[in-house]
Amino acid sequence: MKIVSVVFHPLLMATYLSAILFTEAPELFPRVMPQVIPQFILVVFITTCLMPALSIFLLKSFAFITNLELTKRAERMRPFIFIAFYYAASSYLFADKLEMGPVFMTVMIGVTVLILGLLIITIWFKISIHAAATWSGVGFVSALMVTMAVNIGWYYFGLIIAAGLTSSSRLYLGYHQPKEVWAGAILGFAYSFLTIIIFL
């Protein structure tokens, strides 16, 4: 189950979601030429996964955190601040410089706000970030299917299975209690679904 938590790590979810939507629903991004889609996905990976991951690794190297899994609630604050910063910077980059369109921007800004919300919740409660991130992806896609008739085929069921397996893995590994996983899953899905419904 450890591999599931790694493969579906929260920092990778923006890359996975971008790859699925760019390839399966290109109509959402009319200004993006098909031949540059791989470059866009790479930029998303660098700005929302690689750079935050390097920041967390540096925090570990300088002993600000004890492990890369961030299993201690008190140690999550600094990493979350770094991650929120990178997502906010990415949102600005894609909006101002690359003009990615309203769908992509709504998702990116929505994720940034979600991260800040999770940061605040973490002050009092060790909510599952893995569950929140994976179910957030399901929420975004579900709302796009409802509002814009997006069809990503079997990828949708794959997202649901991935979210379920990831949530179960957090329980199996003993990193979270059921209430923490349920809270993350419900918040992630509901928030992301409503973000698309309300703002698009």
Six-digit token string for 69: 């899994």
Report the number of distinct structural domains present in the chain: 1
What is the pLDDT at residue 71?
75
Using DSSP's 3-state secondary structure scheme, residue 184 falls into: helix
Residue 56 sits in which domain range?
2-199
**Do the Cβ atoms of 128 and 178 come closer than 8 Å?**
no
pLDDT higher for 182 or 105?
182
User: What pLDDT digit, counting tens, does each position of 63-102 carry?
Assistant: 888 887 777 777 888 898 989 999 988 888 776 666 677 8
Residue 36: DSSP 8-state: G
Number of H helices and number of E strands within the chain?
Answer: 9, 0
Average pLDDT over residues 31-47: 87
**Do the Cβ atoms of 122 and 73 come closer than 8 Å?**
yes
Average pLDDT over all residues of the chain: 91
What is the pLDDT at residue 9?
94
User: What pLDDT digit, counting tens, does each position of 10-32 carry?
Assistant: 999 999 999 999 999 988 887 77
Six-digit token string for 64: 């600000």
**Which residues make Cβ contacts (< 8 Å) with residue 30, sequence separation at least 6?**
101
Which of 50-64, 103-117, 156-170 ranks highest by mean pLDDT?
156-170
Six-digit token string for 153: 């085929």
What is the pLDDT at residue 97?
61
What is the pLDDT at residue 68?
76
Binned at pLDDT 50, 70 and 90, residue 117 comes out as: very high
Q: Distance (Å, rounded) from C-alpha 59 to C-alpha 41?
A: 26
